[in-house]
């Protein structure tokens, strides 16, 4: 019986340590990122803010036209992914993003209905 209790304690401690380790990994992406985007020959400054929310990740995408709340924000330790849902001229548009982070640099790709657009951003805070 003591062996079962000891194993149960070890299992609980392992799960607690694993959840703390995963939360610590979020520090690589949490914060503000400055992303210049070129669209039709013009460069627009975008601020991507990744936040920790309710044990997970959330965030906003703020550009010259609007500020949108991100959906399905995830960081697996290598790749940041999120979805941006917006309304333009009465149409719902979904933009998917995947990016890697190396220190203070983020390299990624936005997948839009008009094709893919690569970007590079830098930590802004």
Class of the domain covering 28-123: mainly beta
Residue 42: strand, helix, or coil: strand
Q: Which parts of the chain have pLDDT scores under 50?
A: 6-7, 9-22, 24
Res 17: pLDDT: 42
- pLDDT at residue 2, rounded to an integer: 63
- Residue spans per domain, the chain: 28-123
CA distances from 125 to 13, 21, 75, 103 (A): 34, 23, 19, 13
């Amino acid at each position: 019986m003591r062996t079962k209790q000891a194993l149960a304690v070890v299992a609980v401690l392992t799960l607690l340590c694993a959840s703390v380790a995963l939360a610590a990994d979020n520090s690589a992406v949490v914060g503000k990122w400055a992303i210049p985007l070129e669209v039709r020959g013009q460069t627009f400054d975008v601020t991507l803010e990744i936040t920790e929310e309710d044990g997970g990740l959330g965030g906003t995408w703020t550009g010259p036209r609007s500020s949108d709340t991100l959906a399905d924000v995830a960081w697996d330790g290598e790749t940041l992914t999120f979805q941006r849902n917006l309304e333009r001229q009465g149409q719902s548009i979904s933009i998917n993003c995947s990016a890697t982070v190396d220190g203070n640099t983020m390299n990624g790709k936005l997948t839009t209905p008009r094709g893919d657009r690569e970007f590079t951003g830098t930590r802004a805070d």
